[in-house]
C-alpha cells in the first residue's frame, strides 16, 4: 500500500507535472495510509512529497475502533486470515454486509422489509449507491489491517510497523494536518480520530462535522445540510475540546478551503493528461467503476 501505492503515485505525479509536493487527502483507512506514507519518507530520510495532509474520518490510534470493535478479537481474526489466505482476497460483499450489520435497523432490516417483503423500489440516493459499491481487498493488506492495526494497534508505537526494513515513527512527521471527523460516525469515532493528531509531530487543525461517516464528509457547501464545530484552543481531552467549540452552520469544506489555500500555491494553466511514459488510458471515470461484484 505504501511503496507500490502512495509513494509510487506521488512519484508519477512529479514525473508528469514537475510538482515535487502535493496536498494530500486520505479518507478513512486512506488517511491511515497517508500518515504511514509520510512516516516512511522520514524513515528513509527522503524529502516528503506531502505538503499538507488532510485526514477525513481517519483512525490512527486503533485503541477504540468504534462499532467494528465487536469483530476485533483473536478467534474472529484467525478465521478471517484463514479465509483470506485461501482465496487470496477478502470479498467486498462480505465487507458491505459487515458494515450494514453495524447499523442493522437502518442499513439492513429496513431494506429487507421495505424492498424484499413489501416489494417497494428503493429511492434514488447517490450516497447509498456509492456505499454499496464494494471492492475486494488483497489478503495481505486485509490481514495486516486486522492484526497489526485493529488488534495490536502497532502504528502508534514507534518502529513497531516496518516497511522495507525501516520502522515508522509518526512523531517525526512534521507536515501540517487537517482532521475532519463527524459526530455520528460509528466507524471512526470522532474523538478517536482526533487522538490521531497527538501522534503526529506537525501542527494539526481539528474540525468536527455533523452527521456520519459518509454523509457528514460529502456534505457539499452548495447545500450546507450539516454544520461544523471548531476550537483552536489547547485542550487536555476531547470533552474539553467539545465544550469550548464554536458552531458554524456552513459545511466544513469551507473551513478546509481556508486552511489549505496557503499550501495550494499559484494557479497554473490546465495541464495535458499524462505524458509519453504515462499515457492516458481512457476518459474518467474509466471502466473499473462499471465492474460489479454482485
At 107 the pLDDT is: 76
pTM of the model: 0.92
What average pLDDT does the structure give for the chain? 92
Query: What is the signed CA dihedral for 1, 208, 195, 143, rounded to 10 degrees?
Result: -30
Please name the residue ranges forming H helices in the chain: 8-17, 29-43, 74-87, 92-102, 104, 110-111, 126-131, 139-144, 190-195, 215-218, 238-243, 252-264
Give 280's contacts (C-beta < 8 A, 6+ positions apart). 273, 274
Domain count within the chain: 1
Structural domain includes residue 69: no
At 104 the pLDDT is: 82
Structural domain includes residue 186: yes
At 260 the pLDDT is: 97
Closest CA to 217 of 54, 66, 61: 54
Instruction: Indicate if 24 belongs to the active site.
Output: no
Return phi, psi of residue 24, to 5°. Answer: -105, 145
What is the domain-level CATH number for residue 216?
A: 3.40.50
The three-state secondary structure class of 244 is coil
Closest CA to 99 of 65, 138, 63, 147: 65
At 293 the pLDDT is: 63
- Grouped pLDDT means (10 residues each) for the chain, 294 residues: 94 94 96 98 94 98 93 95 96 84 81 89 75 85 96 98 96 98 95 96 97 94 94 91 96 97 90 90 84 68
Tens digit of each residue's pLDDT (9 = 90 or more) over 176-234:
999 999 999 999 999 999 999 999 999 999 999 999 999 999 999 998 899 999 999 98
Structural domain includes residue 188: yes
Please identify which of the residues 28, 96, 161, 197 carries the catalytic annotation: 28
The three-state secondary structure class of 248 is strand
81 close to 143: Cβ distance less than 8 angstroms: yes
At 96 the pLDDT is: 81
Q: Which residues form the domain of 168?
A: 2-56+158-264
Amino acid at each position: 500500500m505504501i511503496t507500490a501505492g502512495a509513494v509510487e503515485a506521488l512519484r508519477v505525479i512529479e514525473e508528469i507535472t514537475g510538482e515535487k509536493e502535493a496536498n494530500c487527502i486520505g479518507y478513512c483507512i486512506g488517511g491511515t495510509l497517508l500518515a504511514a506514507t509520510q512516516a516512511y519518507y522520514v524513515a528513509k530520510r527522503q524529502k516528503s512529497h506531502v505538503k499538507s495532509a488532510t485526514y477525513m474520518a481517519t483512525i490512527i490510534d486503533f485503541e477504540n475502533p468504534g462499532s467494528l470493535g465487536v469483530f476485533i478479537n483473536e478467534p474472529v481474526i484467525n478465521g478471517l486470515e484463514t479465509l483470506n489466505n485461501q482465496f487470496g482476497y477478502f470479498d467486498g460483499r462480505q465487507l458491505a454486509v459487515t458494515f450494514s450489520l453495524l447499523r442493522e435497523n437502518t442499513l439492513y432490516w429496513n431494506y429487507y422489509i421495505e424492498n424484499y417483503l413489501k416489494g417497494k423500489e428503493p429511492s434514488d440516493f447517490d450516497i447509498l449507491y456509492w456505499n454499496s459499491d464494494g471492492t475486494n481487498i488483497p489478503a495481505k493488506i486485509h490481514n495486516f489491517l486486522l492484526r497489526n492495526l485493529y488488534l495490536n494497534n502497532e502504528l502508534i508505537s514507534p518502529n513497531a510497523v516496518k516497511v522495507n526494513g525501516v520502522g515508522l515513527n509518526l512523531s517525526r512527521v512534521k507536515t501540517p494536518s487537517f482532521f475532519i471527523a463527524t459526530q455520528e460516525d460509528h466507524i471512526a469515532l470522532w474523538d478517536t480520530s482526533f487522538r490521531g493528531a497527538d501522534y503526529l509531530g506537525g501542527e494539526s487543525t481539528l474540525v468536527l462535522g455533523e452527521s456520519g461517516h459518509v454523509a457528514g464528509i460529502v456534505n457539499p457547501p452548495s447545500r450546507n445540510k450539516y454544520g461544523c464545530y471548531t476550537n483552536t484552543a489547547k485542550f487536555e481531552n476531547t470533552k474539553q475540546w467539545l465544550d469550548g467549540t464554536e458552531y458554524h452552520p456552513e459545511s466544513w469544506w469551507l473551513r478546509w478551503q481556508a486552511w489549505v489555500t496557503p499550501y495550494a500555491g499559484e494557479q497554473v494553466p490546465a495541464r495535458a493528461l499524462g505524458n509519453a511514459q504515462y499515457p492516458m488510458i481512457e476518459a474518467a471515470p474509466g471502466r473499473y467503476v462499471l465492474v460489479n461484484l454482485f
